[in-house]
Amino acid sequence: MTESTTGRLAVDVLVIGWGKGGKTLAATLAASGTRVALVEQFDTMHGGTCINIGCVPTKTLVHDAEQRREDDDPQQFWGRAVARRDTVVGAMREVNHAMLADLDTVTLIDGRARFVGERTVEVAGGEDLLVVTAPVVVVNTGAVPVRPDLPGAHLPRVHDSTSLQHVSPFPRSLAVIGAGPIGLEFAAMFAGYGAEVTVLNRRERLLPDEDDEVADEVAAVLEGEGIALWHSASATRIEEGATAASVIAQVGDAERRLEVEAVLLATGRRPATDGLGLEAAGVETDERGAIVVDDRLRTSADGVFAIGDVHGGAQHTYLSLDDFRIVLSQLTGDGARSTADRVAVPTTTFLTPPLAAVGLTEGEALAEGRDVLVAVQKVATIKAMPRPKAVGDPRGIVKLVVDARTDQLLGARLFHVDAQEVINLLALAMRTGTTATQLRDGIWTHPSSTEALNETLGKLAPPE
């Protein structure tokens, strides 16, 4: 425990976990005079997953991978990139710590929290023990990587998405088990640093929830970067050798063996609720260990909320931030805000170029019985979109789905330079009722990736 002593502490609000929603809630409440305690198990996680091991450090590494030239030595380039990653993380961690430490009404506690009763938490830090009570407790412990029940999953050359960020020496070959967003981001990143990468995908094709054109374009770009995609592939065991690991996988009807210097298990993340003693507080969890909440993030225990990844569902920092707004509304507002207010939430998978999505695919819209218009263009063919060509990456595709009767945008898939920014504009259009015609006729800066809307929305047509 760094900022509290052994004994008892009573506060107005106790936050367990230093993630985006929790730290923002703590700072906001404390600024108005509320006495807040914030508990974090590890001092290396001050600020939360996003800035320490998630969004910020991985996207820093993705950016640097994009800067590597063909003749740059992979080991040296990787070492410099990791050092820059650590500098960025360290600076952000210090800012996040100061954001709360400088407030007189906040008590910061390093230690392992465990409920021992209703709204009563015991925090163990080394030999110190502190009992904290509060009328309001907010659980914000996030999620942790899943290690599958796979022989060899704990061998030295096998990593999760956290440990692989500091792998040394740089692996000249990498097997990625799992083809979700994390797996594909790391596959593209390590290929950019010069590794020979193979992705084991359990499904028959990449991105099975996406329309064929989009999934095929992503697969083509990844394969164009030298990434091998094994579909219908399930790893059955991993074996350790003197200089490499062997991944044995069932690929279709055949067994295949892959020799690599490192393995990434990108098989998902689960809510971090182990050891929290939730049963002592009367907090219910589901079969995956996620805390069960209602649409206002209230748990089954009076006065206890859960925010961020710990309550299951989509795992995004910006949703954790919206969770903060919902709980703040419960504590200081009219309580009207809820998860039902979320409309057109965008996502981005940071490949090179990024893949961004919002709303329905064409297939989903047709399955709902909607009358739709669709526009699809390869980025290289969009004459009114010169920015990707100017920055040297004209790869990708744009696909837009529009309601034929209302002219409302139903969904978008953007796989191109700046997609992570343009998708926010389209999400806002969907929330505010801006029509496809208004987007098509919009005046956008030049040269920009947004200009694709002028041309692509002019090609709307019924699906074939």
Report domain extents, the chain: 7-142+270-341, 158-267, 347-459
Beta carbons of 238 and 150 less than 8 angstroms apart: yes
Report CA torsion sign: 419, 425, 429, 432: positive
Residue 258 labelled as part of a binding site: no
The tens digit of pLDDT for each residue in 165-219 reads 999 999 999 999 999 999 999 999 999 999 999 999 999 999 999 999 999 999 9
Each residue's pLDDT tens digit, 402-413 = 999 999 999 999
Burial string for 157-183 (b: 16+ CB within 10 Å, else e) reads: bbbbbeebbebeebbebbbbbbbebbb
**pLDDT over 70 at 6, yes or no:** no
The predicted pLDDT at position 1 comes to: 40
> Taking the model in full, what pTM does it have?
0.95
Q: Which of 159, 166, 311, 446 is catalytic?
A: 446
pLDDT of residue 67: 96
* 22 labelled ligand-binding: no
Q: Rounded CA gap, 358 and 429, in Å?
A: 11
What pLDDT does residue 5 have? 52
182 annotated to bind ligand: yes
158-267 under CATH 3.90.850.10, yes or no: no
Taking only Cα atoms into account, the Rg of the chain, rounded to an integer number of angstroms, comes to 24
How confident is the prediction for the chain on average, in pLDDT? 96
Fold match flag (7-142+270-341 vs 158-267): yes
pLDDT for 464: 85
Beta strand residue intervals within 27-172, DSSP E: 36-40, 106-110, 112-117, 120-125, 128-133, 136-139, 143-145, 158-159
Q: Is 125 labelled as part of a ligand binding site?
A: no
pLDDT digits (tens, 9 = 90+) for 54-79: 999 999 999 999 999 999 999 999 99
Average pLDDT over residues 116-139: 94
Q: Tell me whether residue 375 is annotated as binding.
A: no
Looking at residues 415-433, what average pLDDT do you find? 98
Local structure of residue 165 (DSSP, 8 states):
G
3-state SS class at 326: helix
Instruction: Please give the class, per CATH, of domain 347-459.
Output: alpha beta
According to the model, what pLDDT value does residue 125 have?
85
181 is in an annotated binding site: yes
**Stretch 303-320: mean pLDDT, rounded?**
95
Residue 367 pLDDT greater than 60, yes or no? yes
CATH of 7-142+270-341, one of 3.40.30.10, 3.50.50.60, 3.40.50.2020, 3.40.50.1820: 3.50.50.60
Pair of tokens at residue 205: 């094709």
Residue 360 near residue 368 (C-beta atoms within 8 A):
yes
Rounded to whole angstroms, the Cα distance separating 273 from 284 reads 11
Residue type, 42: F
Give the per-residue pLDDT at 2.
45
- What single-letter DSSP state applies at residue 171? P
Report, as an integer, the average pLDDT of 7-17.
97
Residue 4 pLDDT greater than 50, yes or no: no
309 is in an annotated binding site: yes
316 part of the active site: no
241 marked ligand binding residue: no
* Residues 327 and 318: beta-carbon distance below 8 Å: no
pLDDT of residue 307: 98
Q: Is 313 flagged in the annotation as binding?
A: no
